[in-house]
Amino acid sequence: MSTEQQPAPEEHVDWRRVHKVTPVLNAWKVIVALFAVLIWQNTQLLAEVWEDRDTVNWTLVLLIGGGAVLLLLLVLTVYSVLSWRMMRYAVGRDAVFLHSGILFRQQRHARLNRIQAVDVVQPLLARLFGLAQLKIETAGGTGSSVVLAFLKEEEAQRLRREVLDRAADRGTTTTPAPPSGGQQAPAGAPAVTPPRPDGERELLTVPTGRLVGSLMLSGSMIALVLVLVGLLVAAIAAESFAPLAGALPGFIGWGTYLWGRFTGGFNFRAAISADGIRLRYGLLEQRTQTVPPGRIHTVGLKQPLLWRRRGWWRVEVNVAGYGGLENQMESTTGTVLLPVGSRGDALTALWLVLPDLGVPGPQAVIDAALEGSGDAAGFATSPRSARWLDPLSWRRNGIQLTESAVLMRTGRFNRALAIVPHERTQSLALSQGPLERRVGIANVVAATVGGSVATTAHHLEQMTALAILGEASERSRAARHRESPEEWMRRVGLVGRVDQQPGADVPPPPVGGPVHVAPTGSPVQAPPVGQPVQGPPTGVPVPAPPTGAPVQAPPAGPPVQAAPPAGAPPSPPPPATAPRDDVLPPPEPPAPRDDVLPPPAGPPVQGPPTGR
């Protein structure tokens, strides 16, 4: 995504405008903040006016105050209208364009091949008008997203499908919405087709009671209650509210975090669609998030200690474009694939991203990864020397390489499992501190995009860690040639192919298939190496080839002498001829094999026909 001050590429695009209510929805926060600042700075003046309210000319005060408010609203209205006139967007063949600004013009281009996810967000005030904003996340840092706000909800959903279709190179476009003001599409614009159906298959839901119970049993809630009880005891003992007042900012931050966890899991639903994994959640602000499985770099399964009795798990992911979110609440909820669910729900969420673990017995590997310890199911664990540095979870630490991913487990009390597909591993490294070097252990770090899932296998024996590092690098290199999760979903029928072109995805011919005869005049290829050609059995007469036809030496085996017909005198040997450059020498005869039986006796072997 680029923000250079350059014009858009010369291509025929349909420039569109956002909804006319957009300036009001964008300006209400500014208006409220401005009034709050004015009241805060003039508190003393307002108090004096209120004390002298019996002698104040309220008519003059209302006229001055009302005039100032009307002037401010007029300035904001003019600025908002001009800002709306200067804001426009378009979806091209290679990028999504957004032009905005009055004094400082800004042109933002989100390239389609860099798009990681597309979200449809409906804030509370926008829901009252039936509007939504489209947020396009790209593979960049903070501020790399492109936000199209505000659009009608139907238009936002249609535009989301259009962007995802073009980003997936499915060759389909949707019918654009009519531009405001009755404008027509520019001449020469690309032809459009009707919108495709957006079928979904819902797989996961989170009941509200389970969500509330998970928050009550979380470590954050328990810590908040304990701190609050301690401060109440201190306040009663000191006969003062100073301890509670001093901790008020901390309580506000703590409550904001728990509120974000609740709203991020409220009415949570996960479905699979042709665009990828579709997530819907939100209480006041409803969000529809679409994440292609191939954009997910890491999957993490977590189980706090108090969740074990219920068998609940939480599934989080690291997605490119979500690592540097500006909003802390978005970073808390935007990378959650399942807020809370049973073990079966957690494995279903994992299956959406990684359908095959690449092991013959996946159930035993999953059991050992989620709840096991030691070297069960082939996990490489920490040696006994690591107990001095990690006395609680050294038996739980482990790593395993499968054909599809790297599995890293940790946590004795709060269990955690990180799964990194080989094709998503960006780099691998070993890390050692001074104490770790002294006891001969090391950490294996799999670098992926930023996120809440940690991808480090702690305290392995250093030679074991070095061997794992080399093997993981080789498997990562080989895994990039396998099918992607989107291709797997189409193959198993989770999603259908959209407008598949004729002749696309043609599989290669199977190994060992039929060999076709070359047309006349084409060179004859020699048989593949290692395929022995047996000569005729001993004693079987072989007639001489016709006169004038060049005789090629047999590919392998002993030389074959032509036998004269019965009763005819032996023919004289052929005259010596000069060597020819167009005749290839025979290959080396293969070594004798004990597992090849001699051919049975049969009719005499005929020579090549005339002219071949």
| 590 has a pLDDT exceeding 60 | no
Over the chain, what is the mean pLDDT?
76
Report yes or no: 132 and 156 within 8 Å, Cβ to Cβ: yes
* 147-169 pLDDT tens trace: 898 999 999 999 998 888 887 77
Using the predicted structure, report yes or no on whether residue 82 has a pLDDT greater than 90: no
* Distance of alpha carbon 139 from alpha carbon 546, whole angstroms: 72
On the CB side of 609, CA atoms within 13 Å amount to 2
Tokens of 269: 């639903």
The DSSP H or E segment spanning 107 is: strand 106-111
Residue 35 vs residue 352, higher pLDDT:
352
Q: Choose the most confident range, by mean pLDDT, from 86-90, 173-177, 607-611.
A: 86-90
Q: Which amino acid is at 97?
A: F
Residue 163: CB atoms within 10 A of its CB come to 23
- Number of neighbours of residue 261 by Cβ within 10 angstroms: 22
- The Cα 57–Cα 61 span in angstroms is 6
The pLDDT of residue 517 is above 50: no
Residue 446 has a pLDDT of 93
Torsion of CA 120, 121, 127, 130, to 10 degrees: -20
- Of the two residues 233 and 44, the one the predictor is more confident about is 233
Q: Report which listed range, 21-30, 227-236, 238-247, is most confident.
A: 227-236
Instruction: Specify the pLDDT at position 102.
Output: 82
Least confident window among 72-86, 244-258, 499-513 = 499-513
* pTM score, whole prediction: 0.68
Q: Hey, what long-range contacts does 463-471 have (CB within 8 A, 24 or more apart)?
A: 464/380, 465/430, 465/441, 466/430, 466/442, 468/380, 468/399, 468/401, 468/444, 469/428, 469/429, 469/430, 469/444, 471/401
Q: What is the pLDDT of residue 444?
A: 95
- Is 90 among the domain residues? yes
d(CA 370, CA 419): 11
* Residue 513 pLDDT: 38
Compute and round to an integer the Cα radius of gyration of the chain.
37
Would you call 406 helix, strand, or coil by DSSP? Answer: strand
The Cα–Cα gap between 124 and 132 comes to: 10
CB count within 10 Å of CB 150 equals 28
Amino acid of residue 121: V
Most confident among 2-6, 195-199, 284-288, 336-340 (mean pLDDT): 336-340
Q: In the chain, what's the furthest Cα-to-Cα distance?
A: 150
Does residue 95 belong to any structural domain of this protein?
A: yes
Residue 83 lies in domain = 22-181
Per-residue pLDDT for 548 more than 80?
no
pLDDT at 55: 77
Report the alpha-carbon distance of residue 478 to residue 408 in Å, rounded.
20
393: in domain: no
What are the phi and psi torsion angles at 83 (to 5°)? -65, -40
Residue 463's pLDDT is what? Answer: 94
Looking at residues 300-321, what average pLDDT do you find? 92
Is residue 83 a part of any domain in this protein?
A: yes
Q: Within a domain: residue 223?
A: no
Four-CA torsion 171, 175, 176, 180, nearest 10 degrees:
170
Is the residue at 296 inside a domain?
A: no
Q: Which CATH number characterizes residue 37's domain?
A: 2.30.29
Q: For residue 524, what pLDDT band results from cuts at 50, 70 and 90?
A: very low
Q: How many domains does the chain have?
A: 1
Q: What is the pLDDT of residue 440?
A: 93
First-to-last alpha carbon distance for the chain, in angstroms, is 63
Kindly report, residue by residue over 276-296, the tens digit of the pLDDT: 899 999 998 899 988 888 788
Q: What is the pLDDT of residue 166?
A: 84
pLDDT tens sequence across 239-259: 888 888 888 888 888 888 899
Indicate the range of 113-127, 128-142, 348-362, 579-593 predicted with least confidence.
579-593
Amino acid 155: pLDDT = 92
Look at 283 and 334; give whichever has higher pLDDT.
Answer: 283
Task: Flag whether pLDDT at 379 surpasses 80.
Answer: yes
- Which span out of 50-64, 101-115, 249-263, 403-417 was modeled with the highest average pLDDT? 403-417
Residue 523 lies in a domain: no
Residues making up the chain, counted from first to last: 612
Long-range contacts of 431-437 (CB under 8 A, 24+ apart): 431/456, 432/462, 435/389, 436/389
Q: Residue 529: its pLDDT value, please?
A: 46
The pLDDT score that the predictor gives to residue 140 is 64
Lowest average pLDDT, out of 68-77, 85-94, 250-259, goes to 68-77
- Phi/psi at 374 (5° precision): 80, -160
As a three-state string, the secondary structure of 483-522 is: CCHHHHHHHHCCCCCCCCCCCCCCCCCCCCCCCCCCCCCC
Q: 164 lies in a domain?
A: yes
Q: Which residues are within 8 A (CB) of 111 and not within 5 positions of it... i.e. 6 or more apart?
A: 1, 2, 94, 95, 138
Alpha-helical segments (H) within 142-296: 153-167, 208-216, 219-238, 242-246, 248-265
